[in-house]
Structure 1
Amino acid sequence: MADIIQLLPDHVANQIAAGEVVQRPASVVKELLENAIDAGANTIKLIIKDAGKTLVQVIDNGKGMSVTDARLSFERHATSKIRNAEDLFQLNTKGFRGEALASIAAIAHVELKTKQDLDDVGTAIIIEGSNVVSQDIVVTPTGTSVAVKNLFFNIPARRNFLKSDTVELRHVIDEFHRVALAHPSISFALYNNGSETFNLPVSNYRQRIVNIFGNKTNEKLVPVEEDTEVLKISGFVGKPEFAKKTRGEQYFFVNNRFIKSAYLNHAIASAFDGLLKSGTHASYFLNLTVDPHTIDINIHPTKTEIKFDDEHTLYALLRSAIKHSLGQFNIAPVLDFERDPNLDTPYDYKKADSKAPKIEVDRSFNPFQEEQQSRAKAIAYKKEPVASWESLYVGLESKGNNSKQDFTEVRFESEEQTASIFTDENQVDKTNTTYQLHNKYIISAIKSGMLVIDQHRAHQRILYEDFLKNLTIKEAVSQQLLFPLRLHFSPQDIVIIRQLKDDLEHTGFVFSSFKDETVDITGVPVGVPESEVSIILEQLVSDVENEVPDSNFSAADLLAKSMAKSLAIKTGQSLQKDEQEHLVNKLFACKEPNVSPTNRTTFVTMTVDELDKKFIL
């Protein structure tokens, strides 16, 4: 039998490795930014076009590379960080993998320009699909510039799996935020399609957060500081009243590296227990510093998940540190929150000796003797009644005799009852047509049995079709607000809301002005409470960024789904009889009452025969 095992060619091996390193343009951004930081740069520029599909370029003023290093950097398993296996467990740098540039060069057109400080000229290398096209000497500033063009040009199937520009840009910005938040001592700038999106100067950690998420963020932050032998914690958590429906502003950094940890996230949720509304999530920006020997960052290809030696200790320290900060800054309630200073001991008497009180008793006191004296005085001052008092009761006796006869003949008037024109022997009592079960389901009787309706999903379907109709015919009723409502968002969220402005106005929203971080609203759709507007827009922005449910749907469909999800009555909400009946009638007036906008069942039927079978022994 012929041999069937063979070694893969280098270009195929590089493409397979690229599948682990590069999933989307944001992966390229992460690798290039980390390399720039490891090069010692203090100014880094990120330039992208078409959400990174056409161009991702990172320019830094780091130490640069020599001619030999520039060429070797694109070879597989080439790295300057690791010399032996023990180095993997004491890493303080980021781009140590040794496959990032090789993997990127295998699926894109790469142009590298680099120069060291002491060199007069630099090196320029052009690679297309792992093939070196040219290597020349060029005049370039000190540092490195890496331009990645036409990502996945030789793997069209991978390119087809990329999402829309809005979604891919969101992922790029997320990676940019993660790197920028971890290094406030470095100046970062982001340019998207020729326009400046972010310009973050060197600052402290709090100011870096404010520069990214807007000036309104400053008042939401509560500092967290804790230093122990095992763990050092620094950073900020958000106040409970500013908690959001989404998990967007949650950042963990371990040794200046962004990570995701559901276990540590649970520690923070536990610290906020009892302070957050149901369905909301606290924001946090926390830096954890631990001994590199106690963590393993090689358990995940993207290095966003790490393994701790003693997770239980970290959990307890993180939870107690956040609880301490919330209590220290009067965020969490304490026992003595209503202390009255007027009840404190005066300063002059704090050290004085206490003395026993003296009690004086009058042993000759007789309470009965005093009662007899007061009774004698009352008799002495008693006045005779006026003689004319009898005139007040003249004639009452005769009226009283007639009153008995009158009360025995009292009759109550009542309206004449007439038969209803809708009277029918088979008429069902309408007060018992619906019943709410556990504030979640609505039970409705039908001829063949009964309906069990999920009130949340049913209301979603009703609202979805109403909003979609308004967006289609561009006619919606708006209720004007007495005072304009000003909402605060991050600059990138404002851009998304501005893009959706026309569609939102067709649903009933009225916008008066847009600014860098605020939006003024003067009208909202009928039935939408003013307190829910910010929640609706936050959820809408989140859905658009993540393209829920799919990129194949239109913007109007996505908007209608998002608003229906935000405004639908929730599970656990009690409904009156007329509200239940209205919900049932509206549901079956929909075009597709069987499923919710997310294709989930809205109701089930149970026939009498099915019920009878339950009672068969």
Structure 2
Amino acid sequence: MADIIRLLPDHVANQIAAGEVVQRPASVVKELLENAIDAQSTDIKLIVKDGGKTLIQVVDNGIGMSDTDARLSFERHATSKIQKAEDLFNLHTKGFRGEALASIAAIAHVEMMTRTEDEEVGTHIKIEGSKIISQEVAVVPKGTSMMVKNLFFNIPARRNFLKSDQVEFRHITDEFHRVALAHPQISFSFYNNGSDVFNLPGNDFKKRIVQIFGRKTNEKLVPINEDTNVVRISGYIQKPEFAKKSRGEQFFFANNRFIKSPYLHHAVLGAFEGLIKPGTHPGYFICLEVDPATIDINIHPTKTEVKFDDEHTLYAYLKSTIKHSLGQFNVAPSLDFEKDQNLETPYNFKDKAVSMPGISVDADFNPFQKSRTAKAVGYSKQPNAQGWENMYQGLERKVPNRESSILEMESEGFNSSIFDGTETQDTVTTTFQLRKKYIVSTIKSGMLIINQSRAHQRVLYEGFLKNITIKEAVSQQLLFPLTLNFTHGEISILREIKESLCAVGFVFGDITHETVEIKGVPVVVTESEVQMVMEQLISDFQMEALEDSFSQVDMLAKTLSKTLSVKTGEILDERSQLGLVNDLFACKESALSPFNKRTYITLTENDIDRKFI
């Protein structure tokens, strides 16, 4: 039998490695920014075009590379960070696997320009699909400039899986946030399609948070700080009243590296237990400093998933630290042990013996006496109960028996048609609400039970779809425009769906990098619900990240219907119940909610009869 196992060519192996390291343009941004940080840069510029599909460029003022190092950096497993296996457990740098540049060069057009401080001229290298096109001497500034063009040009299938430019730009922005927050002392600049997005001078951690997420963030932050022999915890948490439905502002950093840890996230939620509403998420920016030997950051190519040696201790420390900060800054409710002066024993009674209190009873007291005076002044009292009957004059009205009245009412509503199968033409549809959740109505064949929340979702959903399609939504103008504060990323989402929101009935004023002015809202939205609706919209779009117009319209209609529908526990009068029933069966798809759940069930007379067998 012929041999069938053979070594893969280098360019194929690099493309396979690229599938693990480079998932989308944001992955390239992460690797290039981390390389710039490892190069001891103090100023880093990020430039992207078309969501990173056309161009990703990172320019730094770091130590640069010689011509030999520049060429060798594109080889697989070539790195200056480690020399032996033991170095993996004492890492202080970002990139160390030696895969990033080789993987990126395998699937894109790459240009590198670099120069060290000691050299007068630098190196300019061009690579396309792992193939070196040219390497020549060039006059370039100190540091390194990496340009990645036409990502996935030689893998069309991967390129087709990329989302729209707006969605990819959002992912790049998220990656930029993580790197910029982890290194507040470094200056960062971010440019998208020729316009400024961020210009962040070097600063401390709190000011960097405010620079990225807006000035209003400053009043939301509560500092945390704890130093133990296992971990040093620092950073900030957001006050419970600012918890959001989205999970955007949640950051863990371990040794200046962004990480994802569901286990530690659970510790944060445990500290906030009872302080935030169900379905909302607290914001936090938490830095953990541990011994590099106690953390393994090499379990995944993206290096965001890590493993700690003693996670249980970290969990306990983190939870108690957050609880302590919430109590220390009077954010969480606490017991007040201050003495109440009203409960103090007077000084004159300090040495007085305890005695039973005496009770004096007036045995001659008569409330019906016509004239009586206080016994204390020495007047005698003549008991006289005459005239007591007058107190009950006018109270001879007969009180009906409650039980008999109830029975009478029930007998009046008796209808024998359910037994004999006959129905009159004058029968009126009646409804009643069951446990503030269901609407029960009679039908010809038996009984109809409607889930009020799901039914209202279906009615609103089809109404919003119609308004967005024909663009004839009715809007009510606000007497005083609302100004809402959002982060830069949230503002970009609102800009993306602004046209659809206007079709529903929202009227927008000025939109800045941090604020949105709303001048009008749909008729079904009250002024107090606007903030909640906007936050829910942003949360859903962040989770789904849908970009095509049909999906965007559908998600918008679903989110609005879910947020504005009648909820379980709300009381509806009989007129509202009947109106909801009629509106539901006027819909094109009345049996299912927008989320494909049943809106109603029917119980026939036979079903009811079976219950009595």
The TM-score, its normalising length taken from structure 2, stands at 0.85
Q: Is the 8 A contact 2:64 2:117 kept in 1?
A: yes
TM-superposed CA distance for 1:563, in Å, is: 1.8
Matches of 1:342 and 1:366, distance apart in 2 = 32
Separation in 2, partners of 1:570, 1:549: 27
Q: Which residue of 1 aligns with 2:369?
A: none
Question: Cα distance 1:615–1:33, how it changes in 2: closer, same or farther (>3 A)?
Answer: farther
- How far is 1:428 from its partner? 5.7
Q: Does the 8 A contact of 1:167 with 1:547 survive in 2?
A: no
C-alpha separation in 2, matches of 1:565 and 1:276: 21
Per-residue deviation, residues 232-273 of structure 1 (Å, max 9, x unmatched)? 111111111111001010001111111111111111111111
**Partner residue in 2 for 1:244:** 244
Render the CA deviation track for 1:321-360: whole Å, top value 9, x for unaligned: 00000001110011118x58876999xx9xx999524999
- 1:366 deviates by 13
Distance in 1, Cα, partners of 2:55 & 2:468: 35
1:301 corresponds in structure 2 to: 301
Change (3 A) 1:108 1:455: farther
Task: Look up the equivalent residue of 2:219 and give its one-letter code.
Answer: E
* Counterpart for residue 311 of structure 2: 311
How far, CA to CA, are the matches of 1:584 and 1:300 in structure 2? Answer: 54
CA distance change for structure 1 residues 371 and 59 in 2, over 3 Å: closer, same or farther? closer
| Whole-angstrom CA distance in 2 between matches of 1:343 and 1:613 | 67
What's the counterpart of residue 269 of structure 2?
A: 269
2:534 to 534, 537, 547: 537
Cα contact 1:153–1:159 (8 A) shared by 2: yes
Could you tell me how far apart the structure 2 residues matched to 1:264 and 1:443 are? 46
Q: Which amino acid aligns with 1:299?
A: I
Judged with a 3 Å threshold, the aligned counterparts in structure 2 of structure 1 residues 486 and 8 are, in CA distance, closer, same or farther, namely: same
> Kindly tell me: are residues 162 and 441 of structure 1, through their superposed partners in 2, closer, same or farther at Cα, counting changes over 3 Å?
farther
Asked if the contact 1:231–1:314 (Cα under 8 Å) also holds between the matched residues in 2, the reply is yes
Are 2:351 and 1:356 aligned?
yes
2:498 corresponds to 1:501: yes
AA aligned to 2:32 is: L
Whether 1:41 aligns to 2:41 is: yes
How far did residue 5 of structure 1 move? 1.8
Tell me how far apart the structure 2 counterparts of residues 295 and 535 of structure 1 sit (CA, whole Å).
Answer: 40
1:10 equivalenced with 2:7 (yes/no): no
Count of residue correspondences:
568
Residue 612 of structure 1: how far off its partner (Å): 6.8
Offset at residue 183 of structure 1 (A): 0.5
Unpaired runs of 5+ residues, structure 1, are: 380-399, 405-422
Q: Contact 2:524–2:564 at 8 Å: present in 1 too?
A: no
- Deviation by residue 1:489-536 (Cα, 9 ceiling, x = unmatched): 123433432444343233222233333322222322113122221121
Taking a change above 3 Å as real, the CA distance of residues 442 and 344 of structure 1, as seen in their structure-2 partners, is closer
Identify unmatched segments of 5+ residues in structure 2.
364-372, 383-392, 397-421
| Preserved contact between residue 170 and residue 545 of structure 1 (Cα < 8 Å) | no
Q: Which residue of structure 2 aligns with residue 336 of structure 1?
A: 336
**Does the CA-based 8 Å contact 1:115-1:144 persist in structure 2?**
yes
Rounded to whole Å, the distance in 2 between the matches of 1:37 and 1:607 is 71
* Match in the other structure for 1:393: none
Name the aligned partner's letter for residue 351 of structure 2: A
* 8 A Cα contact 1:210 1:217, kept in partner: yes
Q: In 2 relative to 1, CA 66–548 (structure 1 residues): closer, same or farther, beyond 3 Å? A: closer
Other-structure match for 2:287: 287
Tell whether the 8 Å contact from 2:467 to 2:473 is kept in structure 1 after alignment.
Answer: yes
The structure with the largest alpha-carbon Rg is 1
Q: Which residue of 1 aligns with 2:561?
A: 564
Corresponding position of 2:71: 71
Q: Could you tell me which amino acid in structure 2 is paired with residue 76 of structure 1?
A: R
Distance, in Å, in 1 between the alignment partners of 2:119 and 2:484 is 53
Matches within 5 A, 1:15-26: 15-26=15-26
1:594 corresponds, among 585, 588, 591, to 591
Q: Is the 8 A contact 1:436 1:575 kept in 2?
A: no
Give me the CA root mean square deviation. 3.4
Tell me the amino acid that sits aligned with residue 301 of structure 1: P
Provide the rounded CA distance (Å) in 2 between the counterparts of 1:315 and 1:73.
39
Secondary structure (helix, strand or coil) at the match of 2:323 reads helix
Identity %: 64
Cα deviation for residue 310 of structure 1 reads: 1.2
Q: What is the rounded CA distance, in whole Å, between the counterparts of 1:93 and 1:574 in structure 2?
A: 60
Q: How does 1:194-209 map to 2 (within 5 A)?
A: 194-209=194-209
CA distance, structure 2, for counterparts of residue 372 and residue 471 of structure 1: 84
- TM-score, normalized by length of structure 1? 0.84
Q: CA deviation at 1:605?
A: 4.9
Match for 2:306: what amino acid? I
- Shift in Å, 1:374: 4.3
| d(CA) in 2 for partners of 1:601, 1:84 | 61
Other structure's SS at 1:553 match:
helix
CA distance in 2, matches of 1:359, 1:9: 99
The whole-number CA distance in structure 2 between the counterparts of 1:5 and 1:203 is: 55
Q: Which residue of 2 aligns with 1:394?
A: none
User: What is aligned with 1:412?
Assistant: none
Residue 485 (structure 2) pairs with residue 488 (structure 1): yes
CA distance in 2, matches of 1:274, 1:506: 39
1:470 aligns with 2:470: no
Q: Secondary structure at the match of 2:44?
A: strand
Give CA-to-partner distance per residue, 1:305-325, whole Å, 9 cap, x none: 111111111111111100000
Q: Per-residue displacement from partner, 1:209-229 (whole Å, max 9, x unpaired)?
A: 000000010000011111111
Whole-angstrom CA distance in 1 between matches of 2:448 and 2:63: 72
8 Å CA contact 1:435, 1:444 repeated in 2: no
Report if the CA contact (8 A) 2:167-2:545 is conserved. no
Contact 1:450 1:605 in 2 (8 A): yes
Work out the CA distance in 1 between the residues paired with 2:32 and 2:572.
55
Q: Identify the residue that residue 528 of structure 1 maps to in structure 2.
A: 525
Distance 1:304 1:366, change over 3 A: closer
- Contact 1:48 1:55 (C-alpha < 8 Å) held by counterparts: yes
Inter-partner Cα distance in structure 1 for 2:376 and 2:220: 73
